Amino acid sequence: MQISSRAAFDDLNIKLQIGNLTINVLYIRFLPADPERFNKYHCHSSYELHFIPFGYGSLLAEGKSYRIAPGTFFLTGPQIYHEQRAFPHDPASISKFMPLK
């Protein structure tokens, strides 16, 4: 599957209620596969949920490296420094959801 354009839905402020837990989704972004992708080391003030629908890459979080593959979900917490790199032979696409303000 090839999706060539970036999609972003910013300033959503969608509230999801699951029992006593409220999740406030601030934005949803889709980054298409790009062998040049390198999201440099950064952090956020809230949680960020990532989903890899296809492709491969690596995640560096707090100094540890993890392989990311199709079907991978990972959550980075507030002030957790992380970066993602796409593998050039089969680059990962990334869907990002910024929940919990």
Give the Cβ contact number of residue 48 at 10 Å: 22
Pairwise pLDDT comparison (33 vs 17), residue with the higher score: 17
Give tens-digit pLDDT for 40-83.
889 988 888 888 988 999 999 999 999 999 999 998 999 999 99
Q: Is 54 helix (H, G, I), strand (E, B) or coil?
A: coil
The terminus-to-terminus CA distance of the chain in angstroms comes to 33
**8 within some domain:** no
**1 within some domain:** no
**48 within some domain:** yes
Q: Are 85 and 35 in contact (CB under 8 A)?
A: no
**Which pLDDT value is given to residue 101?**
46
Q: Residue length, the chain? A: 101
Domain count, the chain: 1
CATH, residue 94: 2.60.120.10
Q: Which domain, by its residues, includes 47? A: 27-99
Q: What is the DSSP string of 33-48?
A: --TT-EEEEE--SS-E
Mean pLDDT of the chain: 83
Predicted model pTM: 0.75
Percentage of residues in the chain having pLDDT higher than 70: 88
